[in-house]
Every structure is written in C-alpha cells, then in structure tokens.
Amino acid sequence: MNSFLIYSPDASKFELSPDHPFRPERTQMMYDLCMQYDLFDRDWIQIVEPEQLTTDELLLFHEKEYLETLDAAGKGSIEERTLMAGLGTPDCPIFPDMFEKLNLVSGGTIVGMRRVMESDGRAYCFNPIGGFHHAYPEHAEGFCYINDLAIAGKLLRRDGLRFAYIDIDAHHGNGVEHGFYDDDGALVISLHQSGRSLYPGTGFENDIGTGIGRGYTINIPVPPGTDDELYLKAFFAVVPPALEAFSPDALILQIGTDSMHNDPLTNLSLTNNSYKRITEELSTLVEKVIATGGGGYNLDNATRGWALAWAAFNDIPLENPYAGIIGGVMGGPDIEMGDLTDRPIYITGPTKTKNTYEIDRIIEYIHTEIFPLIGAKP
C-alpha cells in the first residue's frame, strides 16, 4: 500500500476575500490534527508538495480564453470578459496572483493522482484543499475556479483508463458532471442536497447522461434534514453495486464536509460517522483512490471529518490522550466521545417519514431506470 497526503504549509496561505466562507486554512488545521493523532508515522505514507498544472493539463478541461482571463484578473486587468467568466462575484472574487495560487492547489490533485497510478497495488492520495467541482470549462462559479477533479478525470481518460467519480459534498458536482455527461468510461455519482433547496439547483435523479454516456451519470438528491441512517441507506443501495458493475481503474472521490448537520451553508443532518463509514467501504472496493476535500464551512467539521477519512483509508486506529484538542481548545463532541467521531444524530417524526419516502423513491428509480443501462444489480 502507498498513501500520499498532498500538503505544503504555504499552499493554503491565501484567501478569496476576508469574509469569504471558503477558508483554505482548513488544510493546515487538518494536518495539525493528524499530527496530533500520529496519522502520518507509517512507512507507506508520504507527504508530497503540490505542483503547478501545466497548460496542456489545464486545456484538457478549461477553455484557453477563460484561463487567460483568470490570469489577467489576478494581475489587475479587469475587462468585460472578466465578469462573463464568473469572476468578480461574491462567490468567486478576484484576488492578487489568483491564477498561480489556484493552479497550485488544483495541481496538487494531479500530483497525487500520478503517485497513485504509478504505485503497485492499493494506493490512496488526499488533497484536502482540492475538490473544486463547480468550475466549468469557460467560467468560475460556486467558489471554484479551476476544476482539478475534471482535469484528473480527463487525464485518466486520455490514458485509456475508466474511472468512477463519487461526490459526497452537499452541493451537486455540476462542473464534473458536465465534463463527462456523454462518456461511458466515466461513472459519475453525486450524493447531494436536492437542487430544489440548494445551489446549484441541478443534479436530479433523471439527469442520467446522454448518448453513449446514458446511465453513467447517477444523481442522488436527498432532501433537507437527511440523517446518517438515510444517507447511508442511499449510498449502500447505489454506490457499491454500481462500482461493481462498472469496475473502474481508479476512483476520484470528493469529500466535501458541508453535508454535516451544523454547516452554515447547507441543510443536511449528517455526522462524521457517515464520512468514516463511506471511506472505509470505498477503500475495499477500488484499489486506486484519488481523494480531495471540497465544501465544508464549519472548520471543526472539516478538520475532524478529513482526519477520520485519512485514518480510515490508512487503516489507522485513532488513539490520543489529548483527543479533541484543536489549537489548545477542547472542542465539540470530543469532550464526551473521547475521539474524533460525532455523537449520532437521529431525525424523527414527520421529517423522517417524509425523507424516508423520498429516498426510497429515488433508490427505486435508480434501480429501475439506471441500473439496467450499466449492468448493475440492486
């Protein structure tokens, strides 16, 4: 086994704007917490620094004019095409040297992917600052400027490899879906809060791909208030059988932590127990895993959720006499639990009844309408 954390103490030292909810310092917090729990001191683990994407790599997904506009904006050149490219908005503000800084953190995903694909046997990489799944070829949106995930997928497809993409961010992975909607060599699965109640308003269960890619896009839009029990029910009903039928050469995994119950921008009710369970399962299903962070606007959630995912993929038990101390402060559920995992949350009453019906309906639709297209069995 080989495992690679993509990390540089300097790569996360930037901000989109002073009050922007996307906080790159989550990466440093996750690294510090993993150090505290001794999650790097294994002979199969390496810490690898990110590298800039090349122009050829960027052009596999993004349009040349957009990249030029992004570069110019970071150098102070603002034109009409700048706004057309989605830049200068509250979601995607302009900041100095933005192209170089964003290209570096996105490039970390590709550095990790190469290490994984060059390894013998089981291999895993994690770029916690990556996971920019909303960026489109010609514009930025949703805090995302350079789509590292889509570029990783395009590189795998260029090399003749088939990949699966699993996205557990609360927001639909619309940019990645766009890049592979007509490709039967990419199985794109997104579990997210329904677009009826959350940005980007896309990713419904009947969005299933087109042409030869029909059936290879699977969306699981869960309703607000979905808890661990129902989320995991949907995951296990769809993801393992779809992966078994597809048999990918590699898995790209976006681990956004904004599906947790107290995220300020979303409305789901998960705990990090779901993240731990999902990463444990996926590590048994696919040998080559390229993972990134993503959304997650409660910094404690992101820090602990990603540390749990790292431990799960590396089969490392969590033992620490100082469990839960982040920045010298005993935090959240760690006071009571003595480790990084949250207390379970169980939604009851009319919300649970309504959500159970909706998730059962979506699972039935996928099993009936999509699984036959890809040879999967419920």
Q: b vs e for 3-32, b when ≥16 Cβ sit within 10 Å of the residue's Cβ?
A: bbbbbbeebbebebeeebbbebebbbbbbe
State how far Cα 166 lies from the chain centre: 8
3-class secondary structure, 129: coil
261 is catalytic: no
Q: What is the 3-state secondary structure (H, E, C) of 33-53?
A: HHHHCCCCCCCCEEEECCCCC
β-strands 250-254, 163-167 pairing = parallel
Give the active site residue among 62, 134, 139, 172. 134
β-strands 123-127, 2-6 pairing = parallel
Euclidean distance between CA atoms 189 and 370, whole angstroms: 12
Nearest Cα residue to 140 out of 93, 210, 172: 93
DSSP 216-236: SEEEEEEPTT-BHHHHHHHHH
Active-site residue set: 134
